[in-house]
Chains A and B, each alone.
Chain A
Amino acid sequence: MADATQTKSPIAPLLRFEWTKLRGRRITWVPFLVLAIVVAIIVTVFHRVEFKHQRELFNALSLNLQKDDFVNGYYMAAHAMNPIFNALIPIFIAVASGLMVAGESEQGTLRACLIRPVSRSRLLLGKFAILCGYALALSFFVMVLLLVAGVLNFGTGKLYTLNMFFNNGQEGVSTVFAEEAPVRFLLAGLIAAAGMMVLAALALLISALADSAAMAYVVTLSIYFSMVTLREIPFLDWLYPYLFVTHMLRWQQCFYDRIRVGEILVSLVHLAGYLVVLLSAAILLFEERDIKS
């Protein structure tokens, strides 16, 4: 705090160095490879599966659709986004964040950085900025890959989404016209990325307090998946608005017939609030922390 009166350490070199460190680690690139493999598996599965269960569900909702009527690139991308954004990307972000602070603390490089004339808060903000960039890169990489692979393999068409996968089974089927789908995906990607930034802030807070990278990502993922689990329990619906995962998953509403702008804005405000609180807590605690490792 007292550093405010001093010569400030410029943020640009911090960002450059954090980026150099991030890109130098082999593990940074593993998630991109994993996502590419997952997309390849999804494409293969979509080619082979008959979607009998989905057809039955559509039929139950008075939509007599055959596989070719609803399976297209958009359908594949939208349905693959769910597990990827709910599970895979959070895991990758938690790992990257764990390595950034707790991992560096464990290795001793955090100590080596902090005996330099660099402000702790700026160092943490630099790490957060790079982590957000990484989250954005992962989110858009997988979305673009899903869309390109989906469209190339299955073409375009109307996007039918079963709301039981997207909103607790409350609203039947949504239909998005093909020409509108790319914009919907862009919007979904942006909202999902905003959610990932909140997760990054949470992960950074845990990482700033933990003594080891493993502990940091185990704790982060425990918190995240506990919330996801609570979010799946129907009779806890009164709790949903208070769980940040509810707002993180708001990107799913981009695939409704009509986008509910108000609900999305409320979620974005919530996400911004969570982000500010989590990041401020991370900075305050990191400033006060004794570096003993």
Chain B
Amino acid sequence: MANELLLAEGLSKVFQRRGAEPLTAVHEVNLAVQRGDVFGFLGPNGAGKSTTIRMMLGLIHPTTGRVSIGGRDLATQRLLALRKVGAFVEAPSFYGYLTGQKNLEIFTGLSGGCSPDEIARVVELVGLRGREHDPVKVYSHGMRQRLGIAACLLPRPELLVLDEPTDGLDPHGIHETRELIKRLAREEGLTIFLSSHMLSEVENLCNRIAILDRGRIILEGELVDLEKRFRRLEIDTDRPAKAAALLLEKFRLQSTTTESGLLNVEQNGTSAAEVNATLVGEGFAVNLVARERNWLDRIFLELTTKQKD
């Protein structure tokens, strides 16, 4: 328990709507983010991610349930709980007519303030050195995102909550932001709660994930464990249907054939080498045996589609 930095228990939010049935945006969500985690929070549009994050940061009052940060209950000790958090929700927002430096001073001041040296260090860290005295209204989208991360880092938080940090960035900006997040986790030892649409980003950065759909957590776990459980093999062979029958008979492995004609095979603990040797031994021409590339995308689509059905 002591290792949990962010804990959400039975979190629900029901919005009352005029002339319509109440809307349950989030239903009984339980989440535990351990210290040192880079936690990926996934879900389709309208799943309730933003509402959940807003409840975790005290912007929206939960209908039921509680949130604690570093052991401090958000409902009764909001100020102390938020001292440990740096966050931006949806998009970092700034006073465009003020300079980046002034914005950082304002937001840092609301958290108790920090030294000019610390601000300079973070400005350097996010790569805004030399532009901090420009008004934010002239910043590019990428610069605003980086300023947003800089604001989150002041004064030194333990937990970073980043909502779609690469949203709207060009590939170069996406790469830079991802590298920055990796550095923050690795070098600054921060715990990061990352909400994203980009599954490759989550796979690349996170050690744990949760998928939210229609307000409910439908999958949660260590990425390594989920990979073992769900990642498949992709096999390019001359007779996919017969190969599928053989693997089912020999290893009880279920298969499907992809649009591009590849055989997509469950692993269930069977190694790629074993599968390859078996197929070659039975006279199949095996051109490729590879680990499935977009396994998280497939799982995400399967689970969220299943929920919709």
Contacts and interface: CB of A to CB of B under 8 A. Distances in A.
Interface of A: 2-3, 5-9, 13-14, 16-17, 20-21, 24-26, 107-109, 111-119, 288, 290-292
B58 A115 contact: yes
A17 B89 CA distance: 21
Contacts of A13: 109-110, 113
A111 B90 CA distance: 10
Given A117-B83, A292-B54, A108 B110 contact: no
Contact of A17 (B78, B85, B109, B112): B109
A276 B76 CA distance: 26
A245 B178 CA distance: 57
B79 A3 contact: yes
Contacts of B54: 290-292
B110 A113 contact: yes
B30 interface: no
Given A14-B110, A17-B106, 4 more contacts: A9-B79, A115-B57, A290-B54, A290-B61
Contacts of A14: 110
B60 A109 contact: no
B77 interface: yes
Nearest to B152: A115
A21 B98 contact: yes
Interface in B76-92: 76-83, 85, 87-92
A113 B107 contact: yes
B87 A24 contact: no
A119 B79 CA distance: 7
A109 B59 contact: no
A3 to B, nearest CB: 6
B75 interface: yes
B97 A16 contact: no
B60 A292 contact: yes
Contact of B109 (A16, A111, A119): A16
A181 to B, nearest CB: 41
Given A9-B79, A109-B95, A291-B54, A21 B106 contact: yes
Contacts of A20: 98, 102, 106
Nearest to A119: B79
A117 B93 contact: no
29 contacts: A2-B77, A2-B78, A3-B78, A5-B76, A6-B77, A6-B79, A9-B79, A13-B109, A16-B109, A20-B102, A21-B95, A21-B106, A24-B98, A24-B102, A108-B91, A109-B93, A112-B93, A113-B107, A115-B59, A115-B82, A116-B82, A116-B110, A117-B78, A117-B83, A118-B111, A290-B54, A290-B60, A291-B60, A292-B60
Interface in B163-211: none
Nearest to A9: B79
B59 A107 contact: no
B195 to A, nearest CB: 14
A117 B75 contact: no
B151 interface: yes
A79 to B, nearest CB: 37
B249 to A, nearest CB: 56
Interface class of chain B by DSSP? loop
Interface of B: 54, 57-61, 75-83, 85, 87-95, 97-98, 102, 106-107, 109-113, 151
B215 to A, nearest CB: 15
A116 B77 contact: no
A117 B97 contact: no
A2 B75 CA distance: 7
A107 B97 contact: no
Contact of B94 (A16, A109, A115, A291): A109
Contacts of B94: 109, 112
Contacts of A111: 59, 89-90, 93
Nearest to A8: B79
A112 B92 contact: yes
Contacts of B81: 117
A268 to B, nearest CB: 35
A238 to B, nearest CB: 36
Nearest to B113: A13
B110 A17 contact: yes
Contacts of B75: 2
A13 B58 CA distance: 21
A115 B89 contact: yes
A113 B106 CA distance: 9
Contacts of A8: 79
B80 A118 contact: no
A17 B103 CA distance: 10
Contacts of A21: 95, 98, 106
